[in-house]
Amino acid sequence: MSLTVLFDLDGTLTDPAPGIVGCFRQALIDTGHEAPAFETLKWIIGPSLRSSFARFMPEGEAVEAALARYRLHYGGGGLYDLALYPGMMEAVETIRGEAAAMFVCTAKPEPFAQPIIERFGYAPLFDRVYGTTLDGSLDDKGDLMAKIIAEQGFDPSRAIMVGDRKHDVAAARRHGVTAIGVTWGYGGEAELTESGATHLCAQPSALPGLIAAIAAGRI
């Protein structure tokens, strides 16, 4: 299959809610802010955490202090507080057997994304892990995808982005990449449809067949 497949990490390959939300709440507390209930914060999974923290900070207040506290807790072990979606590893293994190249494309900073991919067994399946930078220069996922395309030199029209949030879809649409929205993550069917996902996928076991059908031009 002459196809390049890009995968989001949080909400697509892994369910990271315990670590991300837990560390986010602790960072708010550390910086003197009230921490909303855990269940109300799952929307922070996917977007840039800078933009998420900014929604809790008064105008002019530095978001960087909260982000630094988050990274302290997350890097101290919170990054491994996650679960693999049932059947996802098997799905990625099947797709890897057919795809020309596969990359992780995540809004998580690369120094956190890489060890997660390695620890949970995904590393042999991907050609490279691409994440954002700690300085925020690649917080826009479309900019991150532009970097991947430029460095890897693949044809965007022969590429697929697999992700669970509107940011994944927007990045794909910006570059003419087919967008598969997965509904087991945190965006949901409505968000993915409204943002223009090319296809939706409801379960990991269906993903290899969907990608094969797209590659063959059957859909």
Active-site amino acid positions:
8
> What single letter denotes the amino acid at residue 44?
I
**Which residues have CB under 8 Å from 80's CB, separation 6+?**
19, 116, 119
Paired with 102 in beta bridges are: 5
Phi, psi of 26, rounded to the nearest 5 degrees: -65, -35
Q: Where are the alpha helices (DSSP H) in the chain?
A: 17-30, 49-54, 64-75, 88-96, 110-119, 141-152, 166-175, 188-194, 207-215
Rounded Cα distance between 103 and 97, Å, is 14
| Contact yes or no for 96/102 (Cβ under 8 A) | yes
Rounded Cα distance between 177 and 155, Å, is 9
